[in-house]
Amino acid sequence: MDRFLRLYCAQINSTVGDFKGNFEKIAYHIEEAKKNSADIIAFPELAITGYPPEDLLLKPAFISQNLKYLDKLKKLCSNITVIVGFVNRDFEIFNSAAIMNNEKILSVYNKQYLPNYSVFDEERYFQRGALGYIYDINGTLVGVNICEDMYYSSGPLQHQAISGGATLIINISASPYHQGKIEEREKILYTRAVDNRVNILYVNLVGGQDELVFDGNSMLVNEKGDILFRAKAFQEDFFIYDLDSEDLDSTRLQDAKYRTQRDWTRQAEGSIGVLKIVNEKNSNNIGKSITFKKTEDRYRDSIKGIEEEVFNALVLGTRDYVQKNGFKKAVLGLSGGIDSALAAVIAGFAIGFENVTGVLMPSAFSSRGSIDDSQKLAANTGLRTFIIPVTNIYEAYLDALKDSFKTRDMNITKENLQARIRGNILMALSNEHGWLLLATGNKSEISVGYCTLYGDMAGGFAPIKDVYKTMVYRVCDFINKKYGNIIPAEIIEKPPSAELKPDQTDQDTLPSYDILDNILKAYIEEDRDYQDIVKSGFDDKTVAKVINMVDFSEYKRRQGAPGIKITARAFGRDRRYPITNKYRLK
């Protein structure tokens, strides 16, 4: 029987700072891997601390705690090589992978490429690592690197494969989701595998952490770029895969160019050291190959299409925010509109509809449908609802403020006032019952400031904050198709309205959402300027108006609740904008 290498990919959901919980998850999978006689088990980047720990990394005690748990882990590592992400301290700190076996930390790899763009701040905390070893594990040369390290064509991965002669690269990662990211990552993996004639085991984190969702999608790619196996998206998962001699040696060893390269390396041995790792007790799995290579297993992920991907990201992000912060239940305002309906459905899928309360808060300007349609949604889903009218409270404010208001007519002040009364009621329910308040605003509104600070923006978490209105419709359609029309057609079909004055619709103030969303994408995600956006065929006055609204609303967003990033550029850590800013279109 041929030689083979049994890999165990542990795609876990770590929680930031939960050393004990993370340790227990890691320990569980090490036990499982041992039971299944795996040669190597790999966990995601910073699996011990959770990712990203942000300024917790500045606390010496936090680093010590992580080292203490690494030390506890090493005692579990016998007869198996364990690769796990942790924070290494060597005067300064590093984002690192420990390579352990025989109850020892045999080697540490320090991440060399530290992302410091988008949501990432790794240069704020970590020093850059330098060249490490490659590992001879049971006869196979293995290179280990971390996330960003594989994004550069002439980075550590190439060095380990081409100069070092590694036939397997293990990349441990904490790569957050956004639309298009999964494909992008697959392309990188394909390119690195093929260019360097190397197998790559990619182990990604899964789970929600504040504004980020890590989608998992860990995978094993062979040196032809084929995906041999893929873990599930948006949930914890693991897989076991036996790489045999054919996988490990075939192409590159046949290829004169690469053989020469490898021979050269062996001569120039100092350029990259090889650390030999053998199990002290004989490995008990030699010759007992179990394979998972059947075609039907290759893609365990059944997600199809961006809408399902987005919905899954929103559900996981919401569930983890609620539960990791110690909540069991959530509350939100149900206006009868599509945004609050979608937020309610996401919350229901995340923590169970029986744990979600929708509050109906009609005013004199509410349509009859705002009540009926919400109750239909509740009937379809099991969402709990109750009604608290706001009219009396509104009147009490108007009375108290009568000497301070310039006009008795309806105006923005009074629209905001109504929204803030609702925010206050919801916060009172949240305080009284310990329910997390979910804000229901979408990205289109939040971009242009079509929302009330402390009103509909109130909440601990904003599930659809990064979802454009047009995507809100698409995700609702997907939900209705997949789960049997649980969102009433009336909610989807009515013209969007804040219902804060008579006969109001969003389009009194905003361009149609099709147009708005395209301008917003160009301006926010692509950093295109006024002239350039107009050139692509939009009305110049509309573009000017939208850009000005976006710029002027920065102060509102700064005080908005966190929400799940699903686009290439979300508001939050991802877009660091000055409030005080006189830069205008021209």
Positions 433 through 472 that interact with its own copies (CB under 8 A): 433, 453-454, 458, 460
Q: Rounded CA gap, 221 and 309, in Å?
A: 22
Q: Which of residues 323-342 bind its own copies (CB under 8 A)?
A: 324-325
Interface with its own copies includes 144 (CB under 8 A)?
no
Nearer to its own copies, 266 or 584 (CB): 584
Active site residue 309: no
- Please identify which residue in 281, 368, 408, 576 interacts with its own copies, judged by CB under 8 A: 576
Instruction: Count residues near its own copies (CB under 8 A).
Output: 87
Using DSSP, state whether 160 is helix, strand or coil.
helix
The least distance separating its own copies from the CB of residue 437, rounded to whole angstroms, comes to 10
Q: Rounded CA gap, 348 and 499, in Å?
A: 25
Active site residue 45: yes
The least distance separating its own copies from the CB of residue 10, rounded to whole angstroms, comes to 20
Cis upstream peptide for 495 (omega within 30°): no
Is-contact 220 7, C-beta < 8 A?
yes
- Side-chain-facing half-sphere of 99: CA atoms under 13 Å: 25
Interacting stretch for its own copies, rule CB under 8 A, among 178-186, 295-303, 319-327, 375-383?
Answer: 319-327
Interface with its own copies includes 473 (CB under 8 A)?
no
- Please identify which residue in 117, 267, 269, 368 interacts with its own copies, judged by CB under 8 A: 117
Nearer to its own copies, 151 or 483 (CB): 151
Site string for its own copies, 14-53 (x = CB under 8 A): -xxxxx-x------------------------------xx
The least distance separating its own copies from the CB of residue 351, rounded to whole angstroms, comes to 15
- Please identify which residue in 195, 227, 529, 568 interacts with its own copies, judged by CB under 8 A: 529
- Please identify which residue in 28, 103, 116, 539 interacts with its own copies, judged by CB under 8 A: 116
Q: Which of residues 182-211 bind its own copies (CB under 8 A)?
A: 208-210
- Please identify which residue in 1, 35, 61, 183 interacts with its own copies, judged by CB under 8 A: 61
Active site residue 147: yes
The long-range contacts involving 151-157, CB below 8 angstroms and separated by at least 24 positions, are 151/113, 151/188, 152/113, 153/191, 153/192, 153/195, 155/112, 155/113, 156/112, 156/113, 156/131, 157/192, 157/196, 157/198, 157/200
Residue 72, Ramachandran bin (φ over 0: left; ψ between -120 and 50: alpha; else beta): alpha
Which backbone phi and psi does 239 adopt, to 5 degrees?
A: -145, 155
Interface with its own copies includes 431 (CB under 8 A)?
yes
Which one is catalytic: 9, 147, 451, 476? 147
Interface with its own copies includes 390 (CB under 8 A)?
yes
Nearer to its own copies, 60 or 180 (CB): 60
End-to-end CA distance of the chain: 72
Greatest extent of the chain over all pairs of C-alpha atoms, in Å? 91
Interface with its own copies includes 536 (CB under 8 A)?
no
- Side-chain-facing half-sphere of 187: CA atoms under 13 Å: 6
How far, in Å, are 361, 362, 455, 456 from residue 422 at the CA level? Answer: 7, 9, 6, 7
Is-contact 264 270, C-beta < 8 A?
no
Nearer to its own copies, 411 or 512 (CB): 411
Q: Which of residues 400-429 bind its own copies (CB under 8 A)?
A: 400-401, 403-406, 411-413, 416-417, 420-421, 423-425, 427-429
Q: Rounded CA gap, 123 and 119, in Å?
A: 12
Task: Please spell the DSSP secondary structure of 220-262, one letter per residue.
Answer: EE-TTS-EEEEPPBSS-EEEEEEEEHHHHHHHHHH-HHHHHHH
Is-contact 97 132, C-beta < 8 A?
no
Which one is catalytic: 34, 45, 469, 521? 45
The least distance separating its own copies from the CB of residue 228, rounded to whole angstroms, comes to 34
- Please identify which residue in 98, 341, 561, 566 interacts with its own copies, judged by CB under 8 A: 561
Nearer to its own copies, 252 or 420 (CB): 420
Q: Rounded CA gap, 234 and 308, in Å?
A: 11
Residues with catalytic roles: 45, 111, 147
